[in-house]
Amino acid sequence: MARRTVDVDLNRVEGDLEFQLDLEGDTVVDARCIGTLYRGFEQILVGRAPRDALVITPRVCGICGTAHLYAACLALEHLAGLSPPAHAVLVRNLCLTAETVQSDLRQSFLFFTPDLCHARYAGHALAGELHEAFAPLRGRVVRECLRATRDLLGIVAVFGGQWPHSSHILPGGVTAPATPRRILDCRGILDGAGSKAAWSAARWRTGSPSTAPRTSSAGCPRRPARRAPSACSAAPAATWACTGSAPAPASC
């Protein structure tokens, strides 16, 4: 049976990525992933102090910088024979999970679903509804995805002071422990994101244009201030339940 090769270009990622599939009939007999973009971060690190990697490596990517920071830290810990305490591992995993969720959501609704708005589907019975939901940067679901993922990244900012390009993961631990204040901040962000997700799902099922729950830029239920206003310059007179002494979310 003749073998044919199918090239699949993925041009919506940060860099050039291509998959090649070798087919015999309808069966994939071989597959290759090819990345051709070289940015030279390895050369940037040559001759530098080892801890410079904790500042430089997260800048490999503006979406998954925490993962690159974690990888650099693991390499340094391996070289030094260090093992982080359980508390630090939990903080790292929390920040990595928040970043992974935003990455998965953006991959789905910013990179994949726009294809459903292609002109070839214009005659489909759901074409209008799909375009209203998934049109690039304008669709309702796309905008809600951007808001929700921005809010979730506030969890990284709680411990790292900023996102992207945080440097809060260090060999042997993290720079900020999970204090009760920070845990409450993170719970507020998650609760706010969860309430908005439930509202979005209900609206998708019913098509109702009802008003979304009132939340802050960090996704937290609004309440009158009972402590000093947030450091975020955009904060109104009434601050949010998740703010206070913790660093402002990245959206600020």
Give alpha helix (H) positions in the chain: 41-45, 53-56, 65-80, 86-106, 127-134, 140-152, 154-160, 180-206
pLDDT given for residue 13 in this prediction: 63
Task: For tokens 């759901």, name the residue.
Answer: 126
**Where exactly are the structural domains of the chain?**
1-37, 47-228+237-252
d(CA 152, CA 242): 12
pLDDT digits (tens, 9 = 90+) for 199-227: 555 555 555 544 444 444 444 433 333 33
One-letter amino acid at 11 equals N
Give the range with max mean pLDDT: 143-157, 187-201, 204-218.
143-157
Answer whether the bond into residue 229 is a cis peptide, omega within 30°: no
The correct CATH number of 47-228+237-252 out of 1.10.645.10, 2.40.128.110, 3.40.309.10, 3.90.1260.10 is 1.10.645.10
Across the chain, mean pLDDT equals: 79
- Beta strand 3-10 pairing with 173-174: unpaired
The pLDDT score that the predictor gives to residue 137 is 86
